[in-house]
Amino acid sequence: MFFKKRNTIKKIETGKEQKLSKIIIGIIFFISVTVLTPAQGYICAIGGGSENYNDWSDAPYSWIVEKAGSGKIIILSYADATNWLPNYFVSLGASEAYNLKIDSKAAADQQSVYDEIISARAIFIKGGDQWNYVRYWKGTKTEAAIRFVYQSGGVISGTSAGAAILGDVSFTAEKGTVYPKDALINPFTHLITLDDDFLDLTPGILFDTHFSERGRFGRLISMLYNFKFTNDRNLIGVGLDDRTAICIDKDGIGVVMGSGAVAVFNIDDRTVFGEYQAGNYYIENLKCDFLTTGWKYDFASKSIHEIPASAKPVDIDRITYYPVTNFFLTGDNRISSQLNSNLNDFISEHDIKNIVVITHSGYSSEASLIKNYLSSINVVCSYLFVTESNMNDISLIDTLINAEGIIIAGDSLDIISLLRNSDYLISEHLYSRINSEAVPLFFLSEMGMAAGQFFIDNPSGDNYAAYRGKLVIKEGLSLFDDLIFQPMIFENSSYYENRTSSVLWGMMRNRLRFGLYFDGSGSIIINAALKTIKCDSNFPFILVDASESTFVDSSTYRASSSVGPRQAAAINNIRFSLTNLSSLDYSLTERKFVTNTSSIEQENVPNSFYLYQSYPNPFNSSTKIKFLIPSPVNPLTRGAKGRLVTLKVYNVLGNEITTLINEHKSPGVYEVEFNAGNLSPRGSTLTSGIYFYRLQFESYSEVRKAILLK
């Protein structure tokens, strides 16, 4: 409108009309500057949860009082309220605080209400249903009054639904709430209702609350995707944990306070949103920073402004541990949903005729369903019921030696502690098959959590495990050391926070590069040779990549009945990628999606070199290292000598111990022995500890670790 009026005015040419023209231009310029000048107030967005004296809420609510100059605070709602919150604000130093109920369009549009609101130095909007705020207040004097307070340098704050409307764009919940699983399956569901014309206090920001408590990272990502395609705008998504706040100063710097974490999602030049077609889509490299108390974020530059002293540095050049064999991960614990589809795909892909089911006696009835199905498709199936008493039973070894594939099933992860104990014969032969022959594995549901070096136990035992510091880190089977996996992420709302927190907290504690969320009846296929992840499901897998994270931190807040701090993690510069397209693979080495065709695989031949895990590992004196050299794409590049390959061993300080291979090799599978007790020509021996061996060819390099125990 401003530029259109200016063009009209330019047609006025002489005399009084010229003078009038200048006056009108001046008026319009004044109005435009008033409208376009950034607001001068403060924002405090709170993720919900009960406030209390001498608790998490003291810091953000005191910040509100301080920025309001200890002046009047009006608490707005559409419902009746007690005097608890007004009294709390007064106890923190406010000169006056009281409730104001505005529960209709008529009430919101009264001049007296406008006059009362603009007399406040801070506005606090309570929780509830944000659709009531939008439908009652939008386009009224109440909305204008809130904006006036903000533009006059006051504070606008809110919790839960009250925080959800503080953004430039708001999720209105006009059609009711939207659950994260539904939003991820269809980011354009009619339940996602976004409004970009209400309050407009924080440019380019969309807030969501009760973030980890209700697993809402899934729906916030979906909303950013939705808004990009429907409005062609990139938003900043801010996810607020309950009992957690981000307080944003006039200069756009926000500081995190409270018990949990704040997630800030950004769409940058590395982010790719694939179009939604027939229920399928992908999101690649959506940037996110997870922040805990004391971290500061600059919303103008879209970058972290300050990292507190409590944060710990992370070495981005640390070794990456890739998968040692192919394995399938599943998203639910219903046997019937796995047999005809996922398990059948696993068997077909690896041409398996003989399989062993490793489980425990309490799972025998479910295991019989698996065996009956396998018999129906002519696959020989054996059971291995793991108990502490039979782990050295020689008669059971043949079931492992003859198996072409392994199923790990059950409803107790305690069996993993037995399987990974190398003192047992069963464990020794299991790892022999995995490390020396790359036998593939199929995990049923939560058993897949043990695929990494570590997993988080107890996500389904206590509703408040993550909030009260009760999640426990345990050692897994080390099929993919740099991965932490959480299935059934949205299976039960009582465990949303536990399962959401398990991945991020586990990655933070163990400095892992990759986290993986999944749900539903589909499967995820991990390809060790190609180092890729593939999905076969209508629900997308969600990969969290912390390869470029440089700092981590965690909450120190302890709730009542806690055994430790809330298990909320801070990790900077992570990337979310997700898809339900079976035609795409996520490349762990390239950190992006690639089309899973034979041509792409040929293009990635250097990554098809494969270094196996040494066996035995741990080892005493000697261990064997096997590696694969594939055929070149172009036969002319083979050369008469083959390809120069080096295999070296290093200690934990990075010092070279010995060179096992430094020569040209033709395509094929090779095995070499590393004898720690006879390092000629010096004849020295090594002490117990961790050692690393690296295979290198041109730009390809891979490292694995071997543990020497004497």
Question: 438 pLDDT exceeds 70?
Answer: yes
Q: In the predicted model, is pLDDT for residue 271 greater than 90?
A: yes
Question: Is-contact 435 612, C-beta < 8 A?
Answer: yes
Residue 268 has phi, psi (to 5 degrees) of: -120, -165
Tokens of 609: 């070199």
One-letter identity of residue 703:
V
Query: How much is the average pLDDT of 98-103?
Result: 98
Higher-pLDDT residue of 614 and 472 is 472
Q: What are phi and psi of 338, to 5 degrees?
A: -100, -25
Is the pLDDT score of 638 beyond 80?
no
Alpha-carbon distance of 157 to 213, in angstroms, equals 21
CA dist 245 and 25 (Å) reads 43
Contact partners, residue 26, CB within 8 Å, separation at least 6:
none
Report the run of H or E that residue 472 belongs to, with start and end: strand 472-475
Cα–Cα distance measured from residue 379 to residue 595, given in angstroms and rounded to the nearest whole number = 31
Whether residue 450 is predicted with pLDDT greater than 60 in this model: the reply is yes
In whole angstroms, give the CA distance from residue 412 to residue 434.
22
**The pLDDT of residue 373 is above 70:** yes
103-117 pLDDT, tens per residue?
999 999 999 999 999
pLDDT of 599 higher than 70: no
- Answer yes or no: are the C-beta atoms of 272 and 87 closer than 8 Å: no
Q: Supply the mean pLDDT for the chain.
A: 88
CA distance 239 to 290: 9
For position 604, what pLDDT does the model report? 37
pLDDT at 636 over 60: no
Per-residue pLDDT, averaged over 362-370, amounts to 90
Could you give the CA distance from residue 435 to residue 427 in angstroms, rounded to a whole number?
12
In the chain, the amino acid numbered 560 is S
- Scan for tokens 């494969």, then name that residue: 610
Taking only the tens place, the pLDDT of each residue in 336-365 is: 888 888 999 999 999 999 999 999 988 888
At 602 the pLDDT is: 37
Q: Please report the pLDDT score of residue 683 as a whole number.
A: 52
Q: What is the pLDDT of residue 700?
A: 73
Alpha helices in 54-109 (DSSP H): 58-67, 84-91, 105-108
pLDDT over threshold 70, residue 11: no
Rounded to whole angstroms, how far apart are CA atoms 586 and 595? Answer: 9
- Residue 587: pLDDT over 50: yes
639 vs 8, more confident = 639
Residue 312 CB coordination number (10 Å) = 11
pLDDT value at 163 more than 50:
yes
| pLDDT score, position 23 | 39
Work out the angle at residue 513's Cα, subtended by the Cα atoms of residues 508 and 515, and round it to the nearest 5 degrees.
Answer: 75
Q: Which amino acid is at 630?
A: P
Residue 550 corresponds to which tokens in the numbers above?
């440089």
For residue 25, the model assigns a pLDDT of 37
Q: Which of these ranges, 167-181, 247-261, 506-520, 594-608, has the smallest mean pLDDT?
A: 594-608
Question: Which conformational region is residue 591 in: left (phi greater than 0), alpha (psi within -120 to 50 degrees), or beta?
Answer: left
What average pLDDT score do residues 637-652 get? 70
Per the CB < 8 A criterion, the answer to whether 602 and 596 are in contact is no
| Residue 684, pLDDT score | 64
Q: Does the pLDDT of residue 27 top 80, yes or no?
A: no
What is the structure's pLDDT at 340?
83
Across 213-217, 422-426, 664-668, least confident range? 664-668
Per-residue pLDDT of 140-156, as tens digits, reads: 999 999 999 999 999 99
Task: Give the helix/strand (H/E) hosting 258.
Answer: strand 253-258
State how far the Cα of 348 lies from the Cα of 308, in Å rounded to an integer: 52
Q: Is the pLDDT of residue 612 over 50?
A: yes
**Where is 304: in which H helix or E strand?**
strand 303-306
Residues above pLDDT 90, as percent of the chain: 69
Alpha helices in 271-422 (DSSP H): 336-338, 344-350, 364-376, 397-401, 414-419
- Judge whether residue 255 has pLDDT over 50: yes
Name the band, by pLDDT with cuts 50, 70 and 90, for residue 708.
confident
Residue 463: strand, helix, or coil:
coil
pTM assigned to the model: 0.83
Query: What is the pLDDT averaged over residues 461-467?
Result: 92
C-alpha 693/C-alpha 710 separation (Å) is 19
pLDDT at position 639 over 60: no
Residue 522: what residue type?
Answer: G
Cα separation, 534 vs 328, whole angstroms: 10
**Helices in 267-363 by DSSP H: which ranges?**
336-338, 344-350
Question: Using 50, 70 and 90 to split pLDDT, how confident is the model at 88?
Answer: very high
Q: Is the pLDDT of residue 257 over 90?
A: yes
Spell out the domains of the chain, with CATH numbers in brackets: 2-36 (no CATH), 42-269+294-306 (3.40.50.880), 609-708 (2.60.40.1930)
Phi and psi of 470, rounded to 5°? -105, 0
